[in-house]
Structure 1
């Protein structure tokens, strides 16, 4: 038990990164899918924080929340796909919900923290990125 609680083995770290990556991406895909499935409903009420129009803003949110989240779950191009996710959650927390109470922006801040942590740590060895990097080292 002591070894489990106090070890810093690479397998436990990589397993933790996998769990964080899959859970953050999986939950975000649900948000993205609901926007795809109810696109016309969202279009009437979606905010436009950058003046691009609600349709473009909604499409950019769908791109990040659904398509980038899929790639993050796979661990493919992880740091690249985290950039739109970080940008989207920063926009949601500080622009869209900036004047709202903390309880409203809390979820986007939690996602933001997870995505920033994954950006700095990378996806771990249990990812497509790691497999691609392994193959490139043997060339």
Structure 2
């Protein structure tokens, strides 16, 4: 009969949970999370288009309705491309700029009241969250579970280069 060894069980459990790294799966989850979050804003704006078309802020001298259409396009198409991992770093730029503009408009409404009254319950922190996630994805890239990675593999294979050059993807 085998003797139960608690220290071996603890060591094995520790190494099982800390020895593995799921960075690519984490990047996929983050891409899916931010894509779904942004896409639901776009869907909501489509459903309420008639109500929002005149009250949406005019951005970059485009007019209210055109600004709303551009924002919906950014929220739907860029988030879809981010979720599937195609042209990820390039597709992060439009929503990144949109979140900077959204933060500007949200904070300009609150600053008149008193900027020290901003707290976690106000919606001004949502664009900041998106900016942080987009910045992180710009730094680390889409990961190996993405179309970008598979296209890079194809390009590297056709140019007879090593797979070690894909570490930046």
1:77 aligns with 2:87: yes
Alignment length, in residue pairs? 136
1:89 aligns with 2:115: no
Task: Name the SS of the counterpart of 2:62 in structure 1.
Answer: coil
| TM-score (norm. length: structure 2) | 0.75
Distance in 1 (alpha carbons) for counterparts of 2:98 and 2:73:
10
| TM-score (norm. length: structure 1) | 0.90
- Alignment deviations for residues 65-102 of structure 1 (CA, whole Å, 9 cap, x no partner): 11100110010110111000100111111x21123235
| Structure 1 residue 117: Cα displacement | 0.5
**Residues 49 and 96 of structure 1 are in contact (CA less than 8 Å); yes or no, is this contact kept in structure 2?**
no
Distance in 1 (alpha carbons) for counterparts of 2:91 and 2:79:
8
What does residue 15 of structure 2 align with? 3
Distance in 2 (alpha carbons) for counterparts of 1:133 and 1:91:
33
What does residue 156 of structure 2 align with? 137
Segments of 5+ residues of structure 1 without an aligned counterpart are none
| Structure 1 residue 39: Cα displacement | 1.6
Give 1:121's match in structure 2, choosing from 140, 144, 148. Answer: 140
Distance in 1 (alpha carbons) for counterparts of 2:20 and 2:131:
25
Structure number with the bigger relative contact order (C-alpha 8 A, sep ≥ 6) is: 1
More helix by share: 1
What does residue 6 of structure 2 align with? none
Task: Name the SS of the counterpart of 2:107 in structure 1.
Answer: coil
